[in-house]
Chains A and B, each alone.
Chain A
Amino acid sequence: MIEFLTAWLGSLPGFMTPLLLASLGLLFCERAGVLNLGVEGVMAFSAMTGAITALAGYGPGAAMALGALAGLAVSIPFVIAVIVFRAPQIPAGLALVAIGLGASEAMGRDAAHKPFLGLQPIPWPEWLTDLPIIGRLLFEQDWMVILSLLLAIVATWGLFRTRHGLRLRAIGEDPATADAAGVDVQLYQFGALMIGALLIGLAGAYLSVAGSQIWTEGMVAGRGWISLALVVFAQWMPVRAIFGAVLFGGAEALIPRLQAQGLEVPVYFLSMTPYLLTIGALLLISLSMRTSQAEPGFLGRAYTRQDR
Chain B
Amino acid sequence: MMNFSKVRRGLMAAALAGVAMASAPLPAAHAVEIKGDAKIAFIYAATARDGGWNEALDNARMAVEADLGVKVAVVESIKEEATALKNAIDLFVGRGFNVIVATGYGYSEGILEAAKANPEVAFMNASGATNHANLEGFYVRTYQAWYLAGMAAASTSKSGKIGIIGGFPVGVVNWDVNAFALGAQAVNPDIETTVVYTNSWWDPVKEGEVAEAMLDQGIDVIGNNLSSAAPFIAAEKRDAKSVGFQLDMSKHAPRGHLTSVMFNWDKHLVPTIKAISDGSWQPNEWGAFPGMSDGVVSLSSLSDDIPADVKAKIEAAAAKIMAGEMTPFDGPILAQDGSVKVAEGASMDDGALWGMDFLVKGVKGTLN
In angstroms, Cα B366 to Cα A266, docked, is 7
Q: How far is the CB of B221 from chain A (nearest CB, A)?
A: 14
**Measuring CB to CB, which residues of chain A are less than 8 angstroms from any residue of chain B?**
3-4, 7, 11, 14-15, 101, 105, 109, 112-113, 115, 207, 211-214, 216-219, 221-222, 252-253, 256-257, 259-268, 271
7 residue pairs bridging A and B, Cβ less than 8 Å apart: A109-B49, A112-B49, A213-B230, A216-B50, A219-B204, A256-B209, A267-B366
Give chain B residues whose Cβ lies under 8 Å from the Cβ of A219: 202-205
In terms of DSSP, what is the predominant structure of the interface of chain A?
Answer: helix
> Which chain B positions have C-beta within 8 A of A256?
196, 198, 206, 209-210, 213
B181-201: contact bitstring with A at CB < 8 Å (1 yes, 0 no)?
000000000000010111110
State whether A260 touches B217 (Cβ < 8 A).
yes
Instruction: Verify B49–A221 contact, CB threshold 8 A.
Output: no
Of B1-9, B107-115, B139-147, B301-309, the one contacting chain A is B1-9
Within the complex, which residue of B47, B163, B367 is in contact with A260, where a contact is CB–CB below 8 Å? Answer: B163
Q: Which A residues are in CB contact (< 8 Å) with B202?
A: 216, 218-219, 221
B96 interface residue (CB < 8 Å to A): no
8 extra interchain contacts, Cβ-Cβ under 8 A, other than A105-B47, A112-B49?
A: A113-B229, A212-B208, A218-B2, A256-B209, A260-B219, A261-B217, A262-B194, A267-B169
B364 touches A101 (CB 8 A): no
Interchain nearest-CB distance for A114 vs B (Å): 8
Q: Please tell me if the beta carbons of A109 and B217 are within 8 angstroms of each other in the complex.
A: no
CA distance A224 to B49 in the complex (A): 26
Chain A residues closer than 8 Å to B366, beta-carbon distance: 259, 262-267
A residues near B325, Cβ cutoff 8 Å: none
* B17 contacts partner chain A, Cβ-Cβ < 8 Å: no
* A259 contacts across to B, CB distance below 8 A: 196-197, 210, 213, 365-366
The number of chain B residues touching the other chain, given as a range, is 35 or more
Chain B interface, DSSP helix/strand/loop, else mixed: loop
Given A218-B2, A256-B206, A259-B196, A7-B213 contact (CB < 8 Å): yes
Q: Is the CB of B252 within 8 A of A115?
A: yes
Q: Is B212 an interface residue (CB 8 A)?
A: yes
Q: Are B51 and A115 in contact (CB under 8 A)?
A: no
Q: Which of B194, B203, B230, B368 contacts A266 (CB 8 A)?
A: B368
Contacts of A14 in B (CB 8 A): 209
Which one of B169, B200, B208, B252 lies within 8 Å of A211 (CB-CB)?
Answer: B208
Contact B216 A3, beta carbon cutoff 8 Å: yes
Q: Which residues of B contact A211 (CB under 8 A)?
A: 205, 208
Taking CB atoms, residues of chain A closer than 8 Å to B149 are: none
B233–A115 touching, CB < 8 Å: yes
B360 at the interface (CB under 8 A from A): no
Q: What's the Cα separation between A247 and B209 when bound, in Å?
A: 17
Inter-subunit contact B233/A213 (CB<8 Å):
yes
Q: Chain A: which residue is nearest B163 at the CB level?
A: A260
Which residues in B have their C-beta under 8 angstroms from that of A213?
Answer: 230, 233
Bound Cα distance from A105 to B49, whole angstroms: 12
> Could you say which of B51, B194, B213, B230 has the most chain A C-beta atoms within 10 Å of its C-beta?
B213
Tell me if B365 and A217 are in contact (CB < 8 A).
no
Is residue B228 contacting chain A, with contact meaning CB distance below 8 A?
yes
In the complex the two chains form, is B368's CB within 8 Å of A216's CB? no
Which of chain B's residues has its CB closest to A105's CB? B47
CB distance from A142 to the nearest CB of B (A): 15
Residues of the A chain whose Cβ atoms lie less than 8 Å from the Cβ of B210: 256, 259-260
Q: Provide the residues of chain A in CB contact with B209, threshold 8 Å.
A: 11, 14-15, 253, 256-257
Least distance between B149 CB and chain A CB atoms (Å): 20
Q: How distant is A251 from chain B, measured CB to nearest CB, in Å?
A: 12
Alpha-carbon gap, A265 to B365, bound state (A)? 9
Q: Which residue of B lies closest to A271 (CB)?
A: B199
Given that A101-B2, A267-B169 are known contacts, is A216 also in contact with B228, CB under 8 Å in the complex? yes
Given contacts A214-B229, A218-B3, A268-B199, whether A207 and B216 have CB atoms under 8 Å apart is no
CA distance A112 to B6 in the complex (A): 14
Taking the closest CB of chain B, its distance from the CB of A265, in whole angstroms, is 7
- Complexed CA–CA distance, A11 and B212 (Å): 9
B51 lies within 8 A of A112 (CB): yes
CB of B46 within 8 Å of the partner chain: yes
